[in-house]
């Protein structure tokens, strides 16, 4: 059984679960020892990040690194293309998510669930997210693997980050511009069973986060 350290609302834990669901792997979720951000947890996982994999005395952090490792060690339903160029493009998309789009969303977290923003702050946040969505639109190819129900590793972060963007555009009143290519991609993702299952599990947690007192 695969064991992972997680907390319920973590976006990267949801990304990893999407991968695990598509790969049809079974896993058990464990809260980080000592709590999120604790020195106890950092003794095990130096970055203090979630998610992390525990496999006997082997510990691994970073959602992408864990997914690549499990993709290599479990041969069913490979989630990286066999062609080198297609594989590199899948990774490029993943990096765009982890290093560009998601951080532009995370920048708003200090203002959530519903702190009032100045017009200037609101425009800055929206501009940063919109720039990353526009770049994603240019990065996306025809994504035909999704029509075949074939989710790639590089797709796994996007459904949850899109759900966060929808939530913060309402909660903070951001003017988000969704390129049609990104909307098409989002709609295709929402037909993949692993994404359907993860969103069904995750969306109530997201709603609870945004409606807490």
State the residues that interact with ligand GSH by CB under 6 A.
Answer: 10-12, 48-50, 62-64, 98
10 or 181: CB nearest ligand GSH: 10
Quickly tell me which residue has 């319920």 as its tokens: 8
Closest alpha carbon to 70 in 156, 160, 189: 156
Closest approach, Cβ 199 to ligand GSH, in A, equals 16
Whether the Cβ atoms of residue 155 and residue 79 lie closer than 8 Å to each other? no
Q: Least distance (Å) from ligand GSH to the CB of residue 34? A: 14
CA–CA dist 153, 87 (Å, integer): 9
CB of 28 to ligand GSH, least distance (A): 18
Q: In what order do the strands lie in the sheet with 27-30?
A: 27-30, 2-5, 52-55, 58-61
Residue (15 or 181) nearer to ligand GSH, CB? 15
Q: Decide whether 95 or 191 has the Cβ nearer to ligand GSH.
A: 95
Note whether 126 and 119 are within 8 A (CB). Answer: no
Which 8-state DSSP code applies to residue 30?
A: E
Is the CB of 71 or the CB of 181 nearer to ligand GSH?
A: 71
Minimum CB–partner distance for residue 48 and ligand GSH (Å): 4
């Amino acid at each position: 059984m695969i064991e992972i350290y997680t907390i319920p609302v973590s976006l990267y834990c949801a990304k990893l679960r999407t991968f695990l669901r598509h790969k049809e792997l079974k896993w058990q979720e464990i809260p980080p020892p000592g709590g999120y951000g604790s020195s106890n947890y950092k003794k095990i996982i130096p970055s203090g990040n979630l998610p992390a994999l525990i496999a006997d005395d082997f510990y691994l952090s970073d959602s992408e690194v864990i997914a690549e490792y499990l993709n290599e060690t479990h041969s069913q339903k490979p989630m990286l293309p066999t062609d080198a160029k297609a594989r590199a493009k899948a990774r490029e998309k993943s990096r765009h998510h982890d290093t560009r789009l998601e951080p532009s969303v995370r920048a708003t977290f200090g203002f959530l669930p519903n702190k009032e923003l100045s017009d200037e702050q609101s425009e800055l946040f929206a501009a940063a997210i919109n720039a990353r969505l526009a770049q994603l639109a240019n990065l996306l190819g025809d994504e035909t693997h999704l029509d075949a129900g074939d989710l790639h590793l590089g797709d796994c972060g996007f459904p949850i980050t899109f759900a966060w963007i929808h939530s913060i555009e309402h909660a903070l009143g951001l003017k988000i511009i969704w390129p049609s290519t990104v909307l098409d991609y989002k709609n295709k993702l929402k037909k993949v069973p692993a994404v359907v299952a993860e969103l069904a599990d995750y969306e109530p947690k997201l709603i609870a986060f945004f409606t807490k007192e």
